[in-house]
Structure 1
Amino acid sequence: MKKILLGTSALVLLAGAAAAQQVTTKAPFTVTLGGSIRSDFIIVNDNAANASSREARLDYRLHLKAEAKAENGLTYGFDARLRNNQNGSGQANQDVVGADRKFVYMGGSWGKIELGDTLAPDSNFEVQAPSVGIGQADYAFGPSTGNYSYYHFNEGTFDTKVVYYTPVFSGFQAGISYTPEKGSRGRDNARSKFVTGSSNNYNDLIALGAAYTGKFGDVGVKLGGGVEFGDEKDVSSTVKATVGDYTVWHLGAQVSYAGFTFGGHYFDNGESGLAKGDDQIGWQLGLTYSTGPWGVGINYARVDTDYAARGRRDDTDYMVGLGAAYQLAPGLSLQADIVKFEAESQTTGLKAGNTKNDGTLFTFRTRVDF
């Protein structure tokens, strides 16, 4: 991380009237800038029709943070992660930089509050199956092979919310958040009460999460998970009968010893994002070993979707991955993954004669962290 010191005399926490109270500080803000750049070369062999078998891409993430501490002990500031556009097509869209995570915060001995586009506590405390480097089966490789989901429904979503985290007590920490509108972030004004036909059918989301990190002799333990639930925007009888309820919960654990780490993750999406009566669950298992600059890992992920009695067969998507990583120099690493996957959830856009997508994905990455 590169640090830049900027002088300042005050931060207005609550702006409004001219006489608004200010919390002053004699110390300057400390601004930190860091991030990572990931250069990938990808080879795919699957059943997708009219799709290239190789791809090269560049993904960069810049972490910007400004923090100060007031005389009364209050710590406050701004945190953001800038990224190039992952989903846009064409060079012009790929050159657009946006911030997926951006929030203001304040904290002290009583805990921490975050306000803005940030993770819910359950996702922030999640413990996935262990992986190395790119991530093996835990890697979000959708842009390369299809938009398959091997995670809980609200994983990695930065909708605008307010979050409170407790202090850490003997390795334990908990949090709670409130999200007014699912799928709304940044300057978006989500005032529409009914969103017929939209995938963002939920509002007033409450998330609860907790985590534990501890060590017993040479054995390390990590636990984490939580739940998020919300209401349907449209409460008409028609929507109530067709749109699934929103409740997501998940739990994960890892145990480490002598360079080995073993763990897993289980989630239950219920009807979230699905039709009434459907159900979706998923799980992962993984094992890694690290020594010196080397790391190797294997993991497995699986998602089962039950479409109830609607004339559609149930889907099972799975993937198993092997990976390795080598730190060539401080801040520079070489990483590689090979993943075998099978996705029954993809039924269109396939080569003739195929009813599902299965294949193999190879990714080689050069990564710089600074």
Structure 2
Amino acid sequence: MKKQLLSTSAIALGVAMAAPASAQQWDVAFGGFVNTHVGASDVDLPSGSTADLDGVNVFTNSEIIFQPSVTLDNGLTFGVNVQLEALNAGSEPDDNEIDESYAYMESDTLGRVEAGSHNSAGYLLSKGAPTVGSMAINSPSISAFVPFVSGQGFRQAGISSYTEVAGNNDVQRISYFTPSFNGLTVGVSYAPSSAGNASNNAPVDFNSTSDVTDIFDIGVAYDQSYGGVDVGLSARWGTGNSNFSAVDDPTTWSIGANLGVNAFTFGGSYGENDNGGAGGVGDNEGFSLGVAYDIVGPWSVGLETYQGELKTALNNSDYETYKLAASRDLGPGVSWDVYYAYVETNNGAVAGNPKVEGNVLATAINLSF
């Protein structure tokens, strides 16, 4: 599906409605977060390895987020979201750089249009197991303490149900989200290419033999309360055109659910990446399950797991992790976590199927502003 089909009419309508001059001024707001983890690891490495990964490590995830916006007299809000990675070096390829950067237009009646470097609508509307604290295991973050050997790609279901087509991340795209209709929100996205932010500086070669182009995503989320029971559901699907030789078009899909009863929240998700061999990456699948409990007062506790699999030529590679966590609210924008995690991964693409497993006992201070 070509890019001209997505939301050009919505943008034109928004610009036309915004034509009258507004006396309103911009609200130049900023915020961000800093999550600092200190953990002791006990890691078992494959036979023959000379590395020693037992000990204490520090993991930090932090961003400064600039969010200027203005609401015009006709009710339309225009704004920008720029996320600056507040690290000099780390596990993210864009550390010490801009993470996401996009402009948006929204109103209560028209919905929201986003354009720029951002995740897809399907990704943003997805739900998963409830997470207590700032260490996510439905993601690769825990590898800061126990390294992966499984070879799964980023934004792939082998390590997270929050997937993207062919594992693309924060590429240039345009998205539209409907207003909420009794708790139901639908979002669609179009990205010209999976090549990354560099595509912002040159036109996309739609015949490139090393790229996935014309990426389309759709997501649906539903949130509603029934007699004190909170229900959250999500589903997403996405596909793109493979330009790799003899490789099928990649797709991804996932479903997720949350159920809140009294102080308990139960949830889970399941996702797949059918890559067709795009970029040499095999098919991925995985699921999350978890429960969280808000104790009367400042504490919450939770137990969750993620189980993922990457299909390889020799044997399947697996990612398996469990986390037991508690978090205490210390004040506005300040919380303290303690958690234990067990992680096990293996690499079925390598002869001998090498395995890494480890235990982590950690604490974290989380600041958001």
TM category, shorter: 0.7 to 0.9
Q: Give 1:170's aligned residue.
A: 182
The 3 A distance-change label for structure 1 pair 158 and 340 is same
1:126 aligns with 2:135: no
1:256 aligns with 2:263: no
Please provide the CA RMSD for this pair. Answer: 2.9
Corresponding residue pairs, total: 333
Q: Give 2:69's aligned residue.
A: 67
Letter in 2 for 1:232: S
Higher mean Cα deviation, 70-79 or 151-160? Answer: 151-160
User: For the Cα contact (< 8 Å) 2:29–2:68, is it kept in 1?
Assistant: yes
User: For the Cα contact (< 8 Å) 1:39–1:58, is it kept in 2?
Assistant: yes
User: For the Cα contact (< 8 Å) 2:146–2:357, is it kept in 1?
Assistant: no
Letter in 2 for 1:78: V
User: Which of these residues, 217, 226, 236, is aligned with residue 236 of structure 2?
Assistant: 226
Q: Give 1:268's aligned residue.
A: 272
The 3 A distance-change label for structure 1 pair 216 and 122 is same
Q: Give 1:206's aligned residue.
A: 216
Q: Give the TM-score normalised by the residue count of structure 1.
A: 0.81
Counterpart-to-counterpart distance in 1, 2:235 and 2:317: 25
Q: Give 2:330's aligned residue.
A: 328
The 3 A distance-change label for structure 1 pair 287 and 272 is farther
Q: Give 1:46's aligned residue.
A: 43
The 3 A distance-change label for structure 1 pair 58 and 268 is closer
List gaps (5 residues or longer) in structure 2.
1-10, 13-17, 153-157
List gaps (5 residues or longer) in structure 1.
1-12, 15-20
User: Which of these residues, 19, 32, 56, is aligned with residue 35 of structure 1?
Assistant: 32
Q: Give 1:303's aligned residue.
A: 308
Residues 242-288 of structure 1: CA deviation (Å, up to 9, x unaligned): x4531000010000011100010000112366678953211110001
User: For the Cα contact (< 8 Å) 1:345–1:356, is it kept in 2?
Assistant: yes
Q: Give 1:185's aligned residue.
A: 197
- Pairwise CA distance, 1:360: 1.1
Counterpart-to-counterpart distance in 2, 1:83 and 1:112: 25
Q: Give 2:363's aligned residue.
A: 364
* Percent of aligned positions that are identical: 23
Q: Give the TM-score normalised by the residue count of structure 2.
A: 0.81
User: For the Cα contact (< 8 Å) 1:136–1:339, is it kept in 2?
Assistant: no
User: Which of these residues, 150, 160, 183, is aligned with residue 159 of structure 2?
Assistant: 150
Q: Give 1:78's aligned residue.
A: 80
Counterpart-to-counterpart distance in 2, 1:61 and 1:218: 35
Letter in 2 for 1:189: A
User: For the Cα contact (< 8 Å) 2:267–2:289, is it kept in 1?
Assistant: yes
Q: Give 2:21's aligned residue.
A: 24
User: For the Cα contact (< 8 Å) 2:228–2:261, is it kept in 1?
Assistant: yes
- Pairwise CA distance, 1:355: 2.1
Letter in 2 for 1:360: N
Counterpart-to-counterpart distance in 2, 1:103 and 1:332: 28
User: Which of these residues, 283, 286, 310, is aligned with residue 282 of structure 1?
Assistant: 286
Q: Give 1:9's aligned residue.
A: none
Structure-to-structure mapping, 1:92-111, within 5 angstroms: 97-108=96-107, 109-111=109-111
Letter in 1 for 2:260: S
The 3 A distance-change label for structure 1 pair 52 and 276 is closer
User: For the Cα contact (< 8 Å) 2:101–2:116, is it kept in 1?
Assistant: yes
- Pairwise CA distance, 1:167: 0.9
- Pairwise CA distance, 1:119: 1.7
Letter in 2 for 1:210: V
Q: Does the residue aligned with 1:177 lie in a helix, a strand or coil?
A: strand
The 3 A distance-change label for structure 1 pair 46 and 75 is same
User: For the Cα contact (< 8 Å) 2:86–2:96, is it kept in 1?
Assistant: yes
Q: Give 1:18's aligned residue.
A: none
Letter in 2 for 1:296: V
- Pairwise CA distance, 1:315: 2.3
